[in-house]
Amino acid sequence: MAKDAERLKKAKETVQKKLGFLRHLIIFTITMVVLAIINNTTYAGYQWWLWPALFWGIGIVSHFLSIYVFRGGGIEKKLIERELERMKNEQ
C-alpha cells in the first residue's frame, strides 16, 4: 500500500510539473503576441520584441528539457546507480 501511495505522489508531482510548463508556455505566447502588437503599432521599423522572445525562449526550452527530457533528476538517479554498482564491485 505504501508503494501505491508513493507512486501516486510521484505521479501528481509529475503532472504538476507538466502543467507548470504549459502555463509558462501559454504566458510566454500571450506576452510575445502583445509585445509584437505593441511594437508593430508604435514603430514597425525595429522588431525589439524579438529580444525578450529570444531570452525568455531560452528559459522555455530549458523548462521543457527539465520536464520532458531529463525528467527532473533522471541523470542524478543514473549516476547514483552507477556509483552503487561500482562500490558493490569493489567489495
pLDDT tens-digit readout, 18-49: 999 999 999 999 999 999 999 999 998 999 99
Contact call for residues 24 and 63 (beta carbons, < 8 A): yes
The tally of domains found in the chain comes to 1
- Which of 21, 32, 37, 30 is CA-nearest to residue 55? 32
Q: How far apart are CA 5 and CA 28, in angstroms?
A: 35
Helices 2-42/50-64 angle, 10° precision: 170
- Name the CA radius of gyration of the chain, rounded: 21
Q: Would 32 be classed as within a structural domain?
A: yes
Range of the domain at 32: 12-90
Instruction: Note whether residue 71 is domain-resident.
Output: yes
pLDDT mean across residues, the chain: 88
**Is residue 43 in some structural domain?**
yes
Mean pLDDT for 58-64 is: 95
Q: Does the reported pTM lie above 0.75?
A: no
Using DSSP's 3-state secondary structure scheme, residue 91 falls into: coil
User: 5 in a domain, yes or no?
Assistant: no
